[in-house]
Structure 1
Amino acid sequence: MSPQPPASAAALRARAETAGLHLPGLILAAEQLAAQVSPGAHGLRRAGPGEDFWQYRPASAGDGMRAIDWRRSARSDQDFVRDREAQTAQTAAIWVSGGQGMAFSGASDRETKAERARLLALALAMLMLRGGERVGLLGQRARSGRLQAERLAEALVAAPAAQADFDAPDAGALRPRQRVVLIADFLARPDWLPGFLAQAAGLGTTGVILQLLDPDEESFPYHGAVLFRSQSGALRHESRDAGALRGAYLARLAERRDWLAAQAGAAGWRYVHASTGDLPADSLTELWQMMGR
């Protein structure tokens, strides 16, 4: 009889096999979700080769006769040129929190935050890949093409969960002029965020912060005696009157959202929040629109 492989190797193999079972479903769901959003192409908001109209500008000495838009010019005493918006391949990086807290769901028939985050991340990546962009998970190589969607699905499913309830992305993985998407619940104050955004700003990197919560985390529908425990078990709080905590909790949540929005805005980023109770297509559409601004 051949010796058994080491426990760590056996566990890794079992995990890989289990992860593989979820890949077809994740890819199919992401493809169907992405199909509900019109991808388009994100321009760079400057004049250049492209299909979308950007602006009319007065003709200058360097513009040839073919560049003149005669229909627009006929409405004034000045010649105008019709500029198009430059559209070139961009590079995007996506980070999905692996914190234990992302495994929470307030109902047995509702997907966890981690499951919804993976779905939105992959569907968003598919939209960008269809637009000819290079996409990767933060810290991994960004590539283009259909095969990259499958690589991303594999990486998202196989990504290890953090030991703690919350984690943080590696600012050292940022690259110049990337677009970055951060997906997490941000329930613990992310003290790492100002430094991360400052480093991103120094690299000319912009992006979107998506705060993803469960409906129970948004409404706090608890009453009576409740034992609150974090997913990792590291945090515990027992209350005899949970309903009395609702006002303070909702106020703290609003404060957190305002803080995240302020941090994002100061760095030239966008902030958006979503719930696992929302339709995935609605969340993806809003996220996609934020990416294009």
Structure 2
Amino acid sequence: MTVRHTQTLRRAAEQAAAPFPALLAEAERIAASVALGTHGRRTPGHGETFWEYRRHRTEDGAQAVDWRRSARGQHLFVRETEWEAANAVYLWRDGSPGMAVSSKSLPLKKDRAAVCLMALASLLVRGGERIAALGETGRARAGRSGLDIAARALAEGTGAARSVEQADIVRHARIVLASDFLDPPETWGSRLARLNASGASGILLRIIDPAEEDFPFAGRTRFAEPSGRSAPLVLGRAEDARDSYRQVWAEHGGGLAAMARKAGWPLLTHRTDRPAGTAVLALHQALAPSIMERG
């Protein structure tokens, strides 16, 4: 590898990582303000009773291997305690193309979702919880290192749907999914049913751009699909489609709400033209009952 090529890769890496410090700083500021009105559980890890063995994953490292159990077979195993299982919170930020859009002067939906989850992660870590980015960072971790690992993945990770569909989590974990949830409610219903079957519970944070809900367009308007797979749609008088669009939007929202109620997952909606702190506080309060039950 030439020096020039190495320098090119380094610049590309720096550019890709540039948003991370800013997003984390914003998340920490929001978490600090929200923490003034919350009271996290700050007890050390009690309940060190054995919970279960699970297969070792690469990110666990050699120090996590239970060598006595592993010696009985051909696979490596990790010993998890009751506290580790009960205190695991998995966070997922949708990385689909539709999340990389925004109205003028507003943040991208994926960036607002990342900030909300990173701020929530900061609050949870302060309360003694273990956190992970679902499908990105493996096992849930505690402390500042756990926050840094999860935060970077939330800011820069792919956020692939398969992370939800093929989630590898401990039993009875709690999960927070942040997305625009533009996939059909039936699709999300199937994903949540699989998570429920594993004993997981969770919360849905629906991130929307105000233009998606208000449809403020008028005159000749060109609409392009974020993924670029379909040809752009051009309307000569966009305002003529406003009522029909809003009806379809409302029906989709109603379908999501019904699906969430059936699955038993609270659905919170957040617009990117509103303060992120309101969403973070709502998420923390929605998680509070399960935290208090174990405190």
TM-score of the aligned structures, taking structure 1 as reference length: 0.75
Q: CA deviation at 1:281?
A: 1.0
Aligned-partner Cα distance in 1 for 2:274–2:21: 23
Matched letter for residue 145 of structure 1 = G
- Among candidates 275, 282, 291, match of residue 279 of structure 1: 275
Alignment partner of 1:291 is 2:279: no
Other structure's SS at 2:18 match? helix
Distance of 1:150 and 1:128 partners within structure 2:
13
One of 30, 34, 37 as aligned partner of 2:34: 37
Partners of 1:91 and 1:265 lie apart in 2 by 23
Aligned to 1:237: 233
Q: Classify 1:292/1:250 alpha carbon distance in 2 versus 1 (closer, same or farther; 3 Å).
A: farther
Consecutive unaligned residues of structure 1, counting only runs of 5 or more, are 43-47, 50-87
Task: Give the alignment of 1:66-145 within 5 angstroms.
Answer: 90-107=87-104, 109-139=105-135, 140-145=138-143
Show the 5 A alignment for 1:151-170.
151-160=149-158, 167=161, 169-170=163-164
Match of 1:251 in 2: 247
Deviation at 1:15, TM superposition (A): 4.0
Q: 1:214 to 1:224 in 2, by over 3 A?
A: same
Question: How many pairs does the alignment contain?
Answer: 244
Aligned residue among 177, 183, 186 for 1:182? 177
Offset, 1:141: 2.0
Corresponding residue SS for 2:177: strand
Identity %: 33
Residue 205 of structure 1 is aligned with which of 200, 204, 209?
Answer: 200
Tell me if the contact between 1:100 and 1:232 (Cα under 8 Å) persists in the aligned partners: yes
CA distance in 2 between partners of 1:287 and 1:3 (Å) = 47
8 Å Cα contact 1:174-1:200 kept in structure 2: no
Indicate the RMSD between aligned Cα atoms, in angstroms.
Answer: 2.8
**Which one-letter code corresponds to 1:136 in the other structure?**
A
Distance 1:174 1:192 in 2: 19
Which of 14, 19, 42 is equivalent to 1:17? 14
Give me the TM-score of the superposition, normalised by structure 2: 0.74
Cα 1:234–1:141, aligned 2, differ >3 Å: closer, same or farther?
Answer: same
- Gap regions ≥5 residues in structure 2: 48-84, 290-295
Give the SS at the match of 1:37.
helix
